[in-house]
Amino acid sequence: MTVPGVSDPPRPPRSLLALRKRLAGYAEPDRRRAAIQLVNTALPLLASMAALLYGLDHGYWLAGLFALPAAFFVVRLFIIQHDCGHGSFLASRRANELVGSVISALTLMPFASWRRDHAVHHATSGNLARRGTGDITTLTVAEYRVRSAWRRFLYRVYRHPLVLFGMGPVYVLLIRYRLPIRMSIHDWENWLSVIGTNLAATAIVAGMSALVGPVLSLMAWGAVLLLATSIGVWLFYVQHQFEETYWEGPAGWDFHAAALEGSSFYDLPRFLHWFTGSIGFHHIHHLASKIPNYRLQACFEQNPELRCAKRLTLWASIRSVRLALWDEEQRKLVSFRQAALARA
């Protein structure tokens, strides 16, 4: 038996309930649009990879022209996998799992394992008591100050852009989701997801190697995946790491506030919204994760209430990289320098 107001989750206001009811109308998968998105992502990716392999065989400068487009098509492909993980891309659960699992062999993000981590992220985003799964590690100013000098140094290293967006993608791609070291031996679903993805990816590389040779295959696909993972980490970072974001203790944490206040609207040029599967409308995604990516733009344009989210431009997102600590008194993310000045 639960005691109202104590263990029950807080109820959203009526206006928010009405908004969520309207948003539910956008959560209907469209088989035709999903099929078109698969085609207009997969075929250009194959073409750009073919051009990249040709360039590597005729001069590295030529290959550089095609590496970035190929990486963006991989990002777009991962957004489709991401939607399949939410069960929103297609109407059938089996179809979502099949498409997501096939794509995971190309993105190297094991479908079931990544889906579980991401579900935890959605359920705990902005909750100070439930950090550590599927998020960017963020300390409060008070937590940072009581750490030893060595642990403060390690945290500063971790939050450095070269580590977050350089070494971080390498760790995610080559270690985090290649070795099931963080999983229980009894968690067979995660083990099968990781090992199955590794075997499928090995088969793909073996097939490419038979056509163009192992060196060119590893150079081309490895470079594209690392670049795509870096872009993915950047997108995930700016979706929640901005000055006026949302963090709250367990007693005051609210799912809807975390979605609308703790997730940004990344206002990108239209072509970048296309490449990134409209994931910049991230506040909508956290509020209603069943909306497929191909409906997010229309949902945003047709519901003026959704424009209240924190808007980040490309320039503003770059400036947010310096922010690293949550100041519970000022209720905003601050830089190490700002935290030091406040203490002084």
Judged by DSSP in three states, 310 sits in coil
Q: How far apart are CA 157 and CA 151, in angstroms?
A: 10
pLDDT at res. 59: 67
Burial 73-95 (b: 16+ CB within 10 A, else e): bbbbbbbbbbbbbbbbbbeeeeb
Q: Can you tell me the distance from the alpha carbon of 214 to that of 195, in angstroms, rounded to the nearest whole number? A: 21
Entry pTM: 0.89
Task: Provide the 3-class DSSP secondary structure of residue 306.
Answer: helix
The string of DSSP letters for 230-281 reads: HHHHHHHHHHH-STT---B-TTT--HHHHHHHSS-EE---HHHHHHTTTTTB
pLDDT of residue 121: 94
Distance CA 49, CA 55 (A): 10
- What is the model's pLDDT at position 180? 74
- State how far the Cα of 316 lies from the Cα of 313, in Å rounded to an integer: 5
Cβ-based neighbour number of residue 211 at 10 Å = 9
Residues 6+ apart with CB under 8 A from 196: 101, 110
Split the chain (344 residues) into runs of 10 and give each run's mean pLDDT. 40 68 92 97 93 78 82 97 96 96 94 92 94 89 96 96 93 86 69 89 88 84 93 95 93 91 93 95 94 96 88 91 94 94 80
What pLDDT does 106 receive?
93
Q: In the chain, where does DSSP find H-type helix?
A: 14-23, 31-58, 60-86, 93-107, 111-124, 141-146, 149-158, 161-162, 168-171, 188-212, 214-240, 255-261, 270-275, 282-287, 293-302, 314-319, 336-343
Write out the H or E segment, with its range, that includes residue 140.
strand 139-140
Dihedral sign, CA of 94, 98, 103, 105? Answer: positive
Rounded CA-CA distance 222/229 in Å is 10
pLDDT score at 47 = 93
- Ordered by start, the domain boundaries in the chain are 14-141+161-322
pLDDT value, residue 184: 63
Distance of alpha carbon 118 from alpha carbon 81, whole angstroms: 12
Place of tokens 């059938």: 92
